[in-house]
Amino acid sequence: MTDCVHIAKATLRDHEGLKLHPYQCTAGRTTIGYGRNLDDRGIAIDEAEQMLDRDVGDALLDACQYSYWHKLTERRKAALIDMRFCLGAGGFSKFKKMHSALVLGDYDEAAAQIMDSNFARQTGRRAENLHQMMIEG
């Protein structure tokens, strides 16, 4: 990398500052990081894929802590990773009846608990797909 790029990056870090959550810049644009204008520029596909990889990894690390995890098929694990991704750790942990059903290996009941939730009412097709994945294994 050339000297001007190193110098520019250093000054940009200083001028922009690092913000890890979206904020409104002085021009009223949604911004993140070191001044990335999300409204006008967005993110690149490879950046989106990197974020997905990181987020799925985080969801997996949380979901695999449940005692029943090792008994699940890959599709059931994938369904739970998707739920955990969407709900966050706190929201996912609140599915107490689903978790209890999974401990017992009652996948029909676990699937029913997915559908008997605000999550299902809010996500529609997503919940229906996860319900099917849980039933079919």
Q: What are phi and psi of 68, to 5 degrees?
A: -85, -10
Is residue 2 predicted with pLDDT exceeding 90?
no
Tens of pLDDT, residues 72-117:
999 999 999 999 999 999 999 999 999 999 999 999 999 999 999 9
Structural contact between residues 113 and 98, judged by C-beta atoms closer than 8 angstroms: yes
Enter the tokens of residue 21. Answer: 């959550």
Does domain 45-136 fall into CATH 1.10.530.40? yes
Q: Are 81 and 63 in contact (CB under 8 A)?
A: yes
Give domain limits for the chain: 3-37, 45-136
Total-model pTM: 0.89
